[in-house]
Amino acid sequence: MSVMKLAIAGAAGRMGRTLTRIVHETEGCEVAGGLEPPGSPHLGADMGVLAGIGEIGATVGEDALGLVSRIDGVIDFTVPAATVALAELTAQARIVHVIGTTGFSADDEAKLRAAARHATIVKSGNMSLGVNLLAALVRKVAATLDEDFDIEIAEMHHRHKVDAPSGTALLLGEAAAEGRDIPLEAHAVRTRDGHTGPRPDGAIGFATLRGGSVVGEHSVIFAGEAERLELSHKAESRDIFARGAVKAALWARGRKPGLMSMADVLGLADF
């Protein structure tokens, strides 16, 4: 098969720069161009220079429509509004769209599901192998322990992160809720402040920490009477997310349109 031409949306961002380097060094794919919003100071820049690997001859642009017509797929770690707009274009072009962006509203999620009728979308709040394995373990533990064990999810990220709880925390919350066979929306306690009253039975709680340069840390705590089980993942580099996203793009190539997850890519859906 020919080399997969991949564009990177959010090419000048923390993940975008990491993705340029990982795509460039991965066999079977190449960096075909990048996207940043109109007015970005990075428009026209060589993506390799931004990524710290020297010139690669692929540049950052703002013309998403023109770009999708000449690529096989796009890897997108941007902001929800940009991802939803780009999904309309990847649907029109019927190409692969790997979505790492987090912080979507319910309305955004519905639009992405609609786009997935024509685009081949792989979307996950965390593209790393470790977190997706952790989610599978959380589902099993939540199914095994009854409601006497309270579930709390704690996360810490760098000071620049703009959404909370993190996409990963929500993914882990979904896994816990699936294990308990309950809807997460009805049981999630996303913030606590003031006189909250006692913890509701069956709640899945979230705690958010932000500071410094932390790449991403998550713990799922099962707290029972006189014993506590904690399952944790610590990301030490953004490379793990970028490698997962590239794996997803290569996996999705040639597949039918639909909305898939990293668990599908990694074969963990029935774990």
Mark the binding-site residues for (S)-2,3,4,5-tetrahydrodipicolinate, compressed into ranges: 158, 167-168
* Residue ranges binding ligand LZUJQKHR (CB under 6 A): 102, 125-126, 157, 161, 166-168, 216
Is 195 a residue of the active site?
no
Q: End-to-end distance of the chain based on CA atoms, in angstroms?
A: 30
157 binds, among ligand NDP, ligand LZUJQKHR, none (CB under 5 to 8 A by kind): ligand LZUJQKHR
What is the maximal distance between C-alpha atoms in the chain? 61
The smaller minimum CB distance to ligand NDP, of residues 149 and 164, is found at: 164
Residue at shortest CB range from ligand LZUJQKHR: 216
* Residue ranges binding ligand NDP (CB under 6 A): 9-10, 12-16, 35-37, 40, 77-79, 82, 100-103, 124-127, 163, 167, 241
Query: In whole angstroms, how close is the CB of 142 to ligand NDP at the nearest point?
Result: 22
The smaller minimum CB distance to ligand NDP, of residues 178 and 239, is found at: 239
258 binds, among ligand NDP, ligand LZUJQKHR, none (CB under 5 to 8 A by kind): none
| Sign (positive or negative) of CA dihedral 266, 183, 225, 232 | positive
Q: How far are the Cα atoms of 58, 89, 91, 112, 123 from residue 116, in angstroms, in the given order? A: 28, 11, 7, 6, 10
Query: In whole angstroms, how close is the CB of 10 to ligand NDP at the nearest point?
Result: 3
Is 161 a residue of the active site?
yes
Q: Provide long-range contacts, Cβ within 8 A and 24+ apart, for 144-148.
A: 144/179, 145/222, 145/224, 145/229, 147/180, 147/201, 147/202, 148/224, 148/225
Point out the catalytic residue in the list 123, 157, 187, 233: 157
The smaller minimum CB distance to ligand NDP, of residues 70 and 228, is found at: 70
Q: For residues 241 and 99, is the Cβ–Cβ distance under 8 A?
A: no
Which strands make up the sheet holding 60-61, listed edge to edge? Answer: 60-61, 29-35, 4-9, 73-76, 96-99, 120-123, 258-260
Q: Which stretch of DSSP H or E encloses residue 99?
A: strand 96-99
The smaller minimum CB distance to ligand LZUJQKHR, of residues 100 and 257, is found at: 100
What distance in Å separates the CA atoms of residue 245 and residue 184, rounded to the nearest whole number? 26
Binding site listing: 10-15, 36, 100-102, 124-127, 158, 167-168
Q: Which residues are marked as active site?
A: 157, 161
